[in-house]
Structure 1
């Protein structure tokens, strides 16, 4: 079993202000129609492609969005079973920003999967549903988070 390499982008913005107070920080997340969970947009890194290049390609292919890829924030190693087989997936999650604007039509629907959408959600909204990968919420709460290594799906073994 070889690990599968993925890449995803985290985008943050300051929310709209209410009564002259700064708004709550918002995160651009991908979810299903019912918003039963949240995750970050991205996909599989293709052979010969860097994680940054994969993020740029995936946002363009899936949502017609141009992104600028920033620093690496999280390395997530995820272990799981799928159809009775063991899998090991490594996701490199980078800080990103939309090129030119933070405004997108909401919801912005995935071009290939009609039940998947991209939306801005506040930190308090994210607390109400699972956010993947597990443990990412603690990283999002830091203004300038350190690089985090999250191992999910099993106990950590050194």
Structure 2
């Protein structure tokens, strides 16, 4: 298992809100012990000189091999958090996205590799099962409330 720590600076990220019916595509987030800590929409870091839209399209192509269209103006969130005791700071563009080919992704668990080679799993989850006592936490914190308010 690879141990991940937040970058010690502000990162700009783009995440895609990809929906199938009322379910959001999210990747598992684990703690250092390998326990499920929560889930997050797919996406990644905006590179220098790259727009958030281009970054989001690139991330879906790199991680899942699929093309997406950005549907509308993004939600913008500032996320200051702690992971395994270390501080992280992100500015996140969270945008609705649609698959160019809706059948390109299965309804089952999707296994994919991050750029660093770490294997990850994603699945479609109902928003109602996230941030509950029995369900995983949705990252970034506050995203569920923003989605409900829209």
Is 1:97 equivalent to 2:120 in the alignment? no
The TM-score with structure 2 as length reference comes to 0.74
How do residues 72-83 of structure 1 correspond to structure 2 at under 5 angstroms?
72-80=73-81
User: How many residues are matched?
Assistant: 132
What does residue 123 of structure 1 align with?
127
Bigger CA drift: 38-47 or 123-132? 123-132
What does residue 110 of structure 1 align with?
112
User: What is the deviation of 1:73?
Assistant: 3.3
Q: Unaligned regions of 5+ residues in structure 2, if any? A: 1-7
Distance 1:87 1:135, change over 3 A: closer
Is 1:27 equivalent to 2:27 in the alignment? no
Q: 1:108 & 1:85 partners in 2: Cα distance?
A: 29
8 A Cα contact 1:3 1:89, kept in partner:
yes
8 A Cα contact 1:72 1:92, kept in partner:
no
Q: 1:84 & 1:118 partners in 2: Cα distance?
A: 25
Bigger CA drift: 71-80 or 28-37? 28-37
Superposition misfits of 4+ residues, deviation over 3 angstroms: 32-36, 80-87
What does residue 138 of structure 1 align with?
145
Distance 1:108 1:90, change over 3 A: same
Is 1:12 equivalent to 2:19 in the alignment? yes
Distance 1:87 1:122, change over 3 A: closer
Distance 1:108 1:88, change over 3 A: same
User: What is the deviation of 1:80?
Assistant: 3.6
Q: 1:84 & 1:32 partners in 2: Cα distance?
A: 15
- Larger Cα Rg: Structure 1 or Structure 2? 1
Q: Unaligned regions of 5+ residues in structure 1, if any? A: 15-24, 146-158
8 A Cα contact 2:28 2:121, kept in partner:
yes
CA RMSD of aligned residues (A): 2.5
